[in-house]
Chain A
C-alpha cells in the first residue's frame, strides 16, 4: 500500500493493532481536520506481527502530547517531519501527569460533570485521579 510522503507533519508508527482510532482521538484529529491524514490498520510488522500507522499532514505534535499515546500504545514511535525529512524521532513514554484529557473511571467523580480531568502517575505505573483519588490503569483513562 502506497501513501504519499508528507512534507510537514507527524507519523506515528508501531501503534498497537486496533489502537489507531484512539490515537486519532488523543491527537484531536476529528472530522473537521483540514489536511490529509492516512490511517493504516493491521499493517504486517516483523516485531509486532501487525501494527497500525497514522500519518498526519500539517500538524507537528509536541512530545508532551504524543506521550499520551503511551497510555493506549506503549512503544509507539513518533517521527516529526519537516521539509519532507525526519527532523526528530522518539518513542512515546508514559506521562507523569495527564491533564485535560482522558476520563476518570469513576462515574461518581466530579469530572464526570465537566470539570477538567487531571491524573498523576504513581510508583507502580497506575494513575490517580487528582479529584476523586480513584486509581486506574493507563488504558482506562482513554
Chain B
C-alpha cells in the first residue's frame, strides 16, 4: 500500500494508523517488519524527517539503506524514474522526498513496491499530517469537536493545508489565523467546507482565546516585499508568554519544527508547549505507517 496523500486515505485507515502508533509508543506492539529493508531517498535535505524514518525502521527491526543524491548518478543526469526503478530492487519499501510536486505519486505509479511520500514540494507530507493528528489526539484524547487554530503563513505552508483537510475529516472546528496576504487559498477552504461541511473561521488578527489547540507555523520574512512590513507582521504574530494569559488553561501548542522565533523561547518550558513531544511522536507514527505500507 502506498502512502502518498492524505486525500487517498479514509478516516478508518487513519484511525488504524493512530491506534497502531499508540501501541508502538506504549511498547505494546512488536512490529512484523523484522528483516525488511527500507530505502530512504531524499532528493532534497530534510534531516528530521529522514532520521525519524530511519529510527522508525530500526525500532521495527528493519534495516535501511540511504540514497544520497549528491554522490549518485543523478549528477550524471539520470532521470528520477530510472533512479527509483533501480533502488526498488534493493529494498522492500521506499520513502521518497523530492522538491517536485507529484514525484511520489509518479514513483508509486511505476513501482510495485510500497512508496511512502516524505514530502513532494509544496504538495503533501502525509506522515507529518498523521503525526499532527496523533499529537492532537494524544494530548486531548479526541479530535472531534476541538477548536483547532491554525496560525501563521497559511498560504504557503503545505502542512497547514493537509492538516486542515484531515481536521475536516475528523470533524474538528477550524479557525484560520494569518496576516493579510498570507491567508489559505479561499478556493481550498471552500472545498473543505463543501466536502466535510466543515465550519471554518478566518481571522487576520493574532487571536486564539477560543482555541483548544494552537498550531503555529513560521511566517517567512521573504514573503513580504517591504522588510519593515515583514518585521512588523512577524513581530505581531509572534506568540508571547503574555498572550497565553487570555488563552484556555489547557491549551496545547504544536509546531512542525524547526521553529525560528515565532514562539517566544520562554514558552518552551511551559506545559502548553507540546512541539518537542510532537516531533518525538514521529517515530511511533512512522513505525505504524511502515507497517501499514508493507502489510496492507
Query: How many Å from the CB of A41 to the closest CB on chain B?
Result: 34
State whether the Cβ of B51 lies closer than 8 Å to any Cβ in chain A.
no
Query: How many Å from the CB of A141 to the closest CB on chain B?
Result: 15
Q: Which residues of B contact A53 (CB under 8 A)?
A: none
Q: Mark B121-141, 1 if CB is under 8 A from A, else 0.
A: 111100000000000000000
6 example contacts (A-B, Cβ-Cβ < 8 A) are as follows: A108-B100, A115-B81, A115-B102, A115-B106, A131-B106, A133-B124
Quick one: closest B residue to A130, CB to CB?
B105
**Could you count the A-B residue pairs with CB atoms below 8 Å apart for me: how many are there?**
48
State whether the Cβ of A111 lies closer than 8 Å to any Cβ in chain B.
yes
Once the chains bind, are B101 and A109 in contact (CB under 8 Å)? yes
* A side interface size, CB within 8 A: 16
Measured CA separation A133–B117 after assembly (Å): 14
Q: CB < 8 Å: which of B102, B120, B121 contacts A111?
A: B102
Q: Mark A20-53, 1 if CB is under 8 A from B, else 0.
A: 0000000000000000000000000000000000
Once the chains bind, are B187 and A131 in contact (CB under 8 Å)? no
Q: Which residues of B are in contact with A by a Cβ distance under 8 Å?
A: 5, 7, 80-81, 98-103, 105-106, 120-124, 187
Q: Which residues of B contact A132 (CB under 8 A)?
A: 100-102, 120-121, 123
Measured CA separation A106–B123 after assembly (Å): 11
Once the chains bind, are B101 and A133 in contact (CB under 8 Å)? yes
8 nearest A-B residue pairs (beta carbon): A131-B102, A132-B101, A110-B102, A132-B102, A110-B100, A110-B103, A131-B105, A110-B106
Measured CA separation A136–B239 after assembly (Å): 36
Measured CA separation A137–B187 after assembly (Å): 12
Q: Which residues of A contact B98 (CB under 8 A)?
A: 110
